[in-house]
Structure 1
Amino acid sequence: MGLIQTTLAAIYPPRCLGCGSTVDSDFGLCGACWGQTEFIGGASCDACGVPVPGSAHDEDLHCDACLKTARPWAHGRAALTYTGMGRKLVLGLKHGDRQEVARPAAVWMQASLGDIVDRRTLIVPVPLHWTRLAKRRYNQSALIAMELSKLTGLDWCADLLQRTRRTPSLDGKSPSERSDALSGAIAVAPKRRHRIQSRPVLLVDDVMTTGATLAACATACGASGADHVCVSVLARAVKDH
């Protein structure tokens, strides 16, 4: 087995997820691409994961947006900012068939979770409408959720949530327009409702911008009996900085 792995490594050496250059291990980033990746390791908003002023040891920090409008979930975490290499990785996973990004994404997201999950937590991906799923062939959030389940040992359910209707693209829409577009568009699948009764849920998505999609998902989970809901995303959109 060792000889086979050595031979394969010689023929197909590990490549950087960002630029494709040779790296030491699979699913890694070279030094240059690592430098373009802004990991959220300092103080961040407890509700949405966006970086905020303060110390990483400070508790219950909130950004201005979350102080102004309460989120329908308990805690939110993000691994990267949606800038530079973080944006490139998200777009590659989402639109470029870069499914190999899901595994390192889950590793980075697991590191950001802290104590917001316990052994009873059910991991749930944000759903795609069936027409988009048919076109894309995979749900990038479900791929991340599956890898996160493997890493944490927590249960996950790929089809707990469903899109009851296709919504328009939310790109460029205001928070209120996004909320209106998603109103009533996401629900817990009746055949899966028993999976979240009195159980904590961790919603997983690739990127959070305004949080409207995650809010619709969290509201649906809460209405169907979830104990409490937290969210985890690979990347968090931030204001220009």
Structure 2
Amino acid sequence: MRSLRHAVWGAVGLAIPPTCVACDRLVAEDAALCAACWREMPFLAPPWCARLGLPFAYDLGAGAVSPQAIAHPPRFDRLRAVAAYEGPARAMVSRLKYHDRPHLAQAMAAWMARAGAELRFAAEDEDGAGGSDMDRAPPLLVPVPLHPFRQWTRRYNQAALLATRVGELWGAEVAAHALVRSRATRRQVGLDAAQRAKNVRGAFAVSDTGRLVLAGRRVVLVDDVHTTGATVAAAARALERAGARAVDVLVFAHAGADRPLS
């Protein structure tokens, strides 16, 4: 059976050769990005702000927080992202969200699982030692929902695809329907920070089934991109009001993280 499966996938590979997830250039069988996109991919890595995941130009020590997080403390505890929202990362988000490329979620989520590995543990227990059993248990993954009409037109929720794959890699439960859009909102593209916040204010609610699984749990809110933070702030507020003990955020791309903080 295994040899037959390999033969089938080999035939598929010959008929549809693998291509770069960002630009469609041909790549090796086990590669997600071509060499050019790999060089241009704006990956994020420590040292970074402990709250917002914004990169620092130099290491300020464990737990260092950026001026942005001090001036405007986020509603969530921690945010982690794979890359800055530019170049190949921006292209991948656009392809997944607007160009009917749901298969991209597999590669994007694999990077997210690595970039957000510390979110598997409570903020005060990142090494996995000590703390309560609940702190050591994997968090509950909750994707940012789409309005039903928008999901019907798009056919899938990109955040749910990402959360599902991260959950498989982390061995974590995914509550795909815990959070719902209680009203339709305008697309956030083109809106400034104040307009985005107004657009999503009160737009999220926790479902009845969500309340059953959220109470007392650590939650990782999953989305494709973080821009001004209006969406995750509104979603985190709804989760906290429903009894979530803590809310972290995991995204693929982070707008505003295109240059290290000095």
Give the alignment's TM-score, normalised by structure 2. Answer: 0.86
d(CA) in 2 for partners of 1:99 and 1:26?
Answer: 18
Offset from partner CA, 1:132-172 (integer Å, 9 cap, x none): 11111111101101111111110001111011111122223
1:149 maps to 2:171: no
Q: Which structure 1 segments of 5+ residues have no match?
A: none
Instruction: Kindly state the Cα deviation for residue 177 of structure 1 after the two structures are TM-superposed.
Output: 2.4
1:106 maps to 2:109: yes
Query: Does the CA contact (< 8 Å) of 2:79 and 2:250 recur in 1?
Result: yes
d(CA) in 2 for partners of 1:59 and 1:82?
Answer: 25
Alignment match, 1:81: 84
Letter in 1 for 2:56: V
d(CA) in 1 for partners of 2:138 and 2:194?
Answer: 34
1:39 maps to 2:38: no
Letter in 2 for 1:6: G
Instruction: Kindly state the Cα deviation for residue 27 of structure 1 after the two structures are TM-superposed.
Output: 6.0
- Aligned residue pairs, count: 240
- Counterpart pick for 1:185 among 194, 203, 213: 203
Query: Does the CA contact (< 8 Å) of 1:72 and 1:215 recur in 2?
Result: yes
Letter in 1 for 2:243: G
d(CA) in 2 for partners of 1:27 and 1:218?
Answer: 35
Instruction: Kindly state the Cα deviation for residue 239 of structure 1 after the two structures are TM-superposed.
Output: 6.5
Alignment match, 1:21: 25
Query: Does the CA contact (< 8 Å) of 2:22 and 2:89 recur in 1?
Result: no
SS of 1:116's equivalent? helix
Query: Does the CA contact (< 8 Å) of 1:48 and 1:78 recur in 2?
Result: no
Query: Does the CA contact (< 8 Å) of 2:84 and 2:257 recur in 1?
Result: no
Alignment match, 2:228: 210
More moved, 138-147 vs 167-176? 167-176
- Counterpart pick for 1:122 among 118, 140, 144: 140
Where do residues 159-238 of structure 1 align in structure 2 (5 Å cutoff)?
159-238=177-256
d(CA) in 2 for partners of 1:234 and 1:205?
Answer: 7
Over the aligned positions, Cα root-mean-square deviation in angstroms equals 1.7
Query: Does the CA contact (< 8 Å) of 1:27 and 1:104 recur in 2?
Result: no
Instruction: Kindly state the Cα deviation for residue 240 of structure 1 after the two structures are TM-superposed.
Output: 6.5
- Counterpart pick for 1:12 among 16, 30, 53: 16
Instruction: Kindly state the Cα deviation for residue 108 of structure 1 after the two structures are TM-superposed.
Output: 0.7
d(CA) in 2 for partners of 1:231 and 1:182?
Answer: 17
Alignment match, 1:68: 71
Alignment match, 2:54: 50
Query: Does the CA contact (< 8 Å) of 1:126 and 1:141 recur in 2?
Result: yes
d(CA) in 2 for partners of 1:239 and 1:28?
Answer: 23
Instruction: Kindly state the Cα deviation for residue 54 of structure 1 after the two structures are TM-superposed.
Output: 2.1
Instruction: Kindly state the Cα deviation for residue 185 of structure 1 after the two structures are TM-superposed.
Output: 1.0
Offset from partner CA, 1:20-45 (integer Å, 9 cap, x none): 22222256101011112110023222
More moved, 6-15 vs 123-132? 6-15
Judged with a 3 Å threshold, the aligned counterparts in structure 2 of structure 1 residues 102 and 240 are, in CA distance, closer, same or farther, namely closer
Give the alignment's TM-score, normalised by structure 1. Answer: 0.93
Instruction: Kindly state the Cα deviation for residue 53 of structure 1 after the two structures are TM-superposed.
Output: 2.4
d(CA) in 2 for partners of 1:3 and 1:132?
Answer: 39
SS of 1:105's equivalent? helix
d(CA) in 1 for partners of 2:50 and 2:145?
Answer: 24
Judged with a 3 Å threshold, the aligned counterparts in structure 2 of structure 1 residues 173 and 8 are, in CA distance, closer, same or farther, namely closer
